[in-house]
Amino acid sequence: MICLYCHSRIEEEADLITMFKRRKPLCTPCRERLSLWRSGERCSFCHRLMDSAEGECRDCRFLAENYRRPGKIMCMMDYTGEVKMLFHRYKFTKDAALREVISMFLKCRFWEYDMSIPIPVSPARMEERGYNQTSMVLEAAKVPYRDILATDKAGRQSELGKRARIGASNPFYFKDDQVAPMLAGKRVLVVDDIYTTGITVHQALEKIYTGKPAGVDVLTFSKA
């Protein structure tokens, strides 16, 4: 078997156990590099690395002033050099096979939620890339999800200031008018690929909260 990240050959002895178990698409050195979780003080809410123990980071305090929060935010991987390269290849060089690599790091009790909702990509991004990078990882991990959100955002949101983004209209909407009642009383997990300032996720949450779910948590593959 070939490692999907470095393309080296993975040597594995064939026996009755390895014959029937799902083979991992990563060699041991790559798995160790991508699993690296840096030490240091972190934001108590979004887990961002900080220079000192301040409780919550500035972004989380800003978001709390402008949006309703999720119950919690879970993060799978630190956005280190290797992880940055992993997501760059996956998202911008159309190396879709890397969804199998990212799915290996999914550590979440999905069964505790009634519904998992991936953050959508815009029609322009879908045409350019050919896939939603978040939902593809869920599919690789065999996690059921509901594709109920859509977005009309154009361009890279990171190019706009935070005030400009929250002052603009919410770019997320439901694909169908019947979606909101489906959310009522449900435990919802919103899934995104990379969490940076958090505004994109909180804008999506703002729309989801209109359906009156019992609670909403966030899972992000990596925290920048």
pLDDT tens by residue, 37-76: 888 889 999 998 888 777 899 999 999 999 999 999 999 9
CA dist., res. 224 & res. 210, Å (int):
28
The model's pTM is 0.89
Same domain membership, residue 170 and residue 90: yes
Query: Nearest 5°: CA angle at 112, between 107 and 117?
Result: 75
What DSSP element (H or E) covers 195?
Answer: strand 187-195
pLDDT digits (tens, 9 = 90+) for 134-145: 999 999 999 999
Q: Is residue 48 part of a domain?
A: no
Same domain as 126, residue 85: yes
Are the beta carbons of 53 and 199 closer than 8 angstroms? Answer: no
Take residue 9 and report the two structure tokens written for it.
Answer: 């050959």
Indicate if 89 and 164 belong to the same structural domain: yes
Q: What is residue 73's three-state secondary structure?
A: strand
Per-residue confidence band for 218, with pLDDT thresholds at 50, 70 and 90: very high
In a domain, 209, yes or no: yes
Residue 201, domain extent: 58-223
Phi/psi region, residue 15 (left: phi>0; alpha: psi -120 to 50; beta: rest), is beta
What pLDDT, in 10s, does the model give residues 117-175?
Answer: 999 999 999 999 999 999 999 999 999 999 999 998 765 555 556 667 766 789 999 99
Is the domain of 24 the same as that of 63? Answer: no
Q: Could you tell me the two tokens for 180?
A: 């909101």
Work out how many domains the chain is built from and give that number.
2
- The Cα–Cα gap between 206 and 27 comes to 40
27 and 64 in one domain? no
Burial of 154 (0-12, 13-18, 19+ CB in 10 A): exposed
**Confidence tier at 20 by pLDDT (50, 70, 90):** very low
pLDDT of residue 155: 56
Same-domain pairing of 101 and 202: yes
**Is pLDDT above 80 for 24?**
no
Are residues 10 and 100 located together in one domain of the fold? no
